[in-house]
C-alpha cells in the first residue's frame, strides 16, 4: 500500500471492482449491461415523461437517507419486483415501499427486530422522516383518506 500510486487510472473491469467476476448469474438475474438497457428502455418507453416522485427535503434530514432517496427510482423498482399477475390496484403498498422499509431498517435501526421496527415507535406519527422516506402515511392519515 505504501508504494501504490492513487493517482493512476483504474483499468480493472467493473466486474472485478465489484467482486462479481466469478459469479455466474442465472437466466433470471440481469447483469449490469442488461440492467442499464432495461432502465434506458423503461425511461424511453414512456409517452408522457412523469418525474419520479421527490419526497420533501424538509422532512428527510439524514444525509444517507437523502442520498438513497435521490438514487432510488420507485417506478423501476416496482417494475422489477412485481410478479406477472400483479396489478397496482391490488395493493395499498407497493414493492418499492417494502424495499425502502428494508433499507431504512438496515441503515438506521440494525440492532432491533423486524417486529419491533413495525411499531409506532419507529413508524408512528412522530417519525415523519421515516414515513416520508417510505412514502407511507400514519394510521390517522390512512383513516382520513378512507373517509
- Tens digits of per-residue pLDDT, 36-93? 898 888 888 766 655 555 556 677 888 888 888 888 888 888 888 887 887 767 777 7
In a domain, 7, yes or no: no
In a domain, 120, yes or no: yes
Q: Which of 80, 58, 79 is nearest to 69 (CA)?
A: 58
Mean pLDDT of 116-126: 80
**Cβ atoms 94, 78 nearer than 8 A:** yes
Q: State the total domains in the chain.
A: 1
Residues 6+ apart with CB under 8 A from 14: 32
Q: What is the mean pLDDT of the chain?
A: 77
Residues 6+ apart with CB under 8 A from 140: 125
In a domain, 9, yes or no: no
In a domain, 55, yes or no: yes
In a domain, 132, yes or no: yes
Residue 87 CA: distances (Å) to CA of 52, 79, 109? 19, 11, 31
Domain interval for residue 35: 14-146
pLDDT at 142: 45
In a domain, 45, yes or no: yes
pLDDT at 112: 85
In a domain, 25, yes or no: yes
In a domain, 84, yes or no: yes
CA distance 110 to 122: 12
CA distance 108 to 64: 10
Q: Label residue 145 by pLDDT band (50, 70, 90).
A: very low
Amino acid at each position: 500500500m505504501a508504494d501504490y500510486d492513487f493517482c493512476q487510472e483504474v483499468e480493472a473491469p467493473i466486474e472485478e471492482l465489484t467482486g462479481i467476476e466469478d459469479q455466474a448469474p442465472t437466466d433470471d438475474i440481469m447483469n449490469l449491461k442488461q440492467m442499464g438497457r432495461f432502465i434506458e428502455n423503461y425511461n424511453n418507453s414512456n409517452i408522457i415523461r412523469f418525474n419520479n416522485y421527490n419526497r420533501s427535503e424538509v422532512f428527510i434530514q439524514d444525509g444517507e437517507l437523502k442520498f438513497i432517496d435521490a438514487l432510488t427510482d420507485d417506478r423501476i423498482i416496482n417494475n422489477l419486483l412485481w410478479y406477472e399477475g400483479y396489478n397496482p390496484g391490488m395493493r395499498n403498498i407497493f414493492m418499492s415501499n417494502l424495499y425502502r422499509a428494508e433499507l431504512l431498517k438496515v441503515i438506521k435501526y440494525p440492532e432491533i427486530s423486524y417486529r419491533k421496527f413495525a411499531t409506532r415507535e419507529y413508524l408512528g406519527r412522530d417519525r415523519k422522516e421515516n414515513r416520508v422516506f417510505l412514502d407511507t402515511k400514519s394510521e390517522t392519515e390512512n383513516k382520513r383518506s378512507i373517509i
